Structure 1
């Protein structure tokens, strides 16, 4: 999943972007309000973390402009403005959640997971495919007898995006847009390499293919084998 982090505190933005990338998210960053809004117009994001006190453009103005263009993208306000009036204003303008500084990274990560789960109807954080259990909250995959399957962060990000969008075929271009950020170098075969590795690991633990390749179109989840 691809996130946009708009925050003017250099130390905080560096710490958060490293932490979020470590748990598997693609993260683009901006320390200026207008630069952040420009990134929103240029790219497609699954969630935006937005500070309110920003140079060149206030966070609430950015929030309003984002909502004029997109009603579905999840937005989490991250700010030192702790009074209730400002929280209410942010939520009324379309924010999905509000976290006051200082905060714990674990709480931020949990709130991000919760907001992203709202994008689809599944209520459970776990999915089962034959002998495989996919834990969306812990971002881990288990085989038979609770055996941990070594799924790398980018591989899990691909699996997660396909699960969230199950029921439709996802092109390689869409996967790149949502899983790789602007700071990462790309090469033409990157999706095939990651998908090949992921499918090999999953197929060792089940009879049916979990990820189906629709030739010339993209990839989709084999819904026939899944259980909530």
Structure 2
């Protein structure tokens, strides 16, 4: 089982031990120790799941998740905390958390809980994604426009389209796109991104309400009506 995990835990020793175990279990796991660091990482790449400690040095995990959901409403998360009381659990579940895990926890059990959450999430992601009058057929990596024009995408093209779609109507920095889709930021990948952007703009001629705008010296805005 694979998946991108962001663990937000200010206990560095616990965080590192858990991170290493999850990596050995096949999860691409990144560790953050503050809310600000987590926000920065989430702005640069997409994560399949956040593991969020409730007590963090610069804010609560509840506040962090509430803020992230404003920009990333599809983000999945679980809370990891020493608070073993009904009120905290209800607060976490009200935010839409997939689970609420109390410390101390069994690390193998945590790994399987993550496995099950991501597996369910990947099933959900097989559903079509609508971007204005465009349908992104995820399990076939295909675009379908309102005029029934269909376009098959390569895997990388699909990832670019999906990133733009999930971050519609936001200023997207070039370096953040490169890190999220390619995993690194360099000059030659930047030229590749330009090629992808040019192709996207050509395909958008089939759309009546979706546009890709350039933000000078910054990046792009993928404008789409709320659906």
Query: TM-score, normalized by length of structure 2?
Result: 0.56
Equivalent in the alignment of 1:18: 20
Following the alignment from structure 1 to structure 2, what is the Cα–Cα distance between the partners of residues 95 and 59?
A: 11
Aligned residue number for residue 158 of structure 1: none
Superposed CA offset, 1:40-85 (max 9, x none): 1222111111001001111110010111112222101111011011
RMSD over aligned Cα, in angstroms?
Answer: 3.0
* Cα pair 1:64 1:94 within 8 Å, conserved: no
Any unmatched runs of 5+ in structure 2?
125-137, 142-153, 161-178, 189-198, 200-227
Q: Which residue of 2 aligns with 1:104?
A: 106
> Do the aligned partners of 1:7 and 1:31 also contact (CA within 8 Å) in 2?
yes
Counting matched residue pairs gives 145
| Residues 2 and 179 in structure 1, CA contact (< 8 A), matched pair in contact too | no
The gaps in structure 1 that reach 5 residues or longer are 123-164, 189-215, 217-228
Q: Secondary structure at the match of 2:19?
A: helix
Q: Identify the structure with bigger relative contact order (alpha carbons < 8 Å, sequence gap 6+).
A: 1
Q: How many Å apart are 1:166 and its aligned residue?
A: 3.4
Per-residue deviation, 1:179? 9.7
1:7 paired with 2:9, answer yes
1:39 is matched with: 41
Distance 2:49 2:84 in 1: 22
